[in-house]
Amino acid sequence: MSFLERVDQGIRQSAVWRSLFRNPYPNDERSRAYAVMNNVFLHLHPVRVRQHAVKFAYTFCLGGLSFFLFLVLTVTGVYLMFFYAPSANMAYTNILQIQTEVPFGLLTRNVHRWAAHLMVFFVFLHMMRVFYHGAYKPPREFNWVVGVVLLFLTIMLSFTGYLLPWDQIAYWAITIGTNMAGYAPLFNTPSKFILLGGLEVGQNTLLRFYVLHIMVFPLLAAIFLAVHFWRIRKDGGISGPL
């Protein structure tokens, strides 16, 4: 036995490893069924899925990839949070520091930015895929509604994040965006005031958007994602075939 094989065996036979994974790596159908059923992450899936549903050209993996990007954004976002203070005096400096001083800071910020745009884009495409397959029809009506809520949350996550760098792009984009909300009939002044925490974009806005961005919307999204995935299975799995 080579050295590497002995290390491999040593790890796999250790008490720690065997407490983590009760069974050896599943190679046959039966143990793979068990693995999918018993692993907390894998059991999002049923043990077997209908053939057409695993074809790339049916879902284009768009829902799954939206979720994957949500996870990427959570991880990169948490890293950025260590170096960012939501203060009108500090935020911009913090972004500059992230880009120049923080290890992998620039890369993390870039990935966070591009993944965010990509997620909004994929969620739109996912919605179109679902529509063209008529997958909102019974029994999936309610999951479509959950989806619309997720679309709203995704856009709001992106929008609230847009302000955080506190540069000219951010400031004026949010000014335009929130001005629109200011024209809501009956609620014009209150809705704008509640969003901004004042009459124009300022320190209160930054703090509000920050809390919404890192806490409120991610939590809400996680809850609605859980319902969304649960409902897919309770509604009988992926729709189709066409």
Partner 1 sequence: MAEQQTAPGHRTVQPVDPARRTEIDKQRVPMSARPYRLLALVKQDAVVRVQKEPDDTVMTWPHLLAIEFLAAVLVSVFILLMGLFVNAPLEDLANPNVTPEVAKAPWYFLGLQELLAYFHPTVAGALTPIFVLVGAALIPYVDRGNLLATRPSDRKTAVLLFTLFCGLGLVLTFIGIFFRGPGYAFALPWVTGMHFSL
Q: Please report, as ranges, the residues that interact with ligand HEM according to CB under 6 A.
A: 59, 62-64, 66-67, 70, 123, 126-127, 130, 133, 135-136, 140, 143-144, 147-148, 150-151, 154, 225, 228, 232, 238-239
Q: Does 228 bind partner 1 (CB under 8 A)?
A: no
Contact 199, 205 (CB under 8 A): no
Contact 155, 120 (CB under 8 A): yes
Could you say which residues in the range 74-133 bind partner 1, by CB under 8 A?
Answer: 88, 92, 95-96, 99, 106-115, 117-118, 120, 124, 127-128, 131-133
Which DSSP helix (H) or strand (E) runs through 229?
Answer: helix 217-234
Site string for partner 1, 182-201 (x = CB under 8 A): xxxx--x-----------xx
Site string for partner 1, 28-47 (x = CB under 8 A): -x--xx-xx-----x--xxx
Q: Does 217 bind partner 1 (CB under 8 A)?
A: no
Q: What is the largest CA-CA distance in the chain?
A: 78
Query: Rounded to the nearest whole angstrom, what is the least distance from the CB of residue 68 to ligand HEM in the complex?
Result: 8
Nearest-angstrom CA–CA distance, 127 and 233: 18
What b/e sequence results for 29-63 when a residue is b if at least 16 CB atoms lie within 10 Å of its CB, and e otherwise? eeeeeebbeeeeeeeeeeeeeeeeeeeeebbeebb
- Would you say 10 or 134 has its CB closer to partner 1? 134
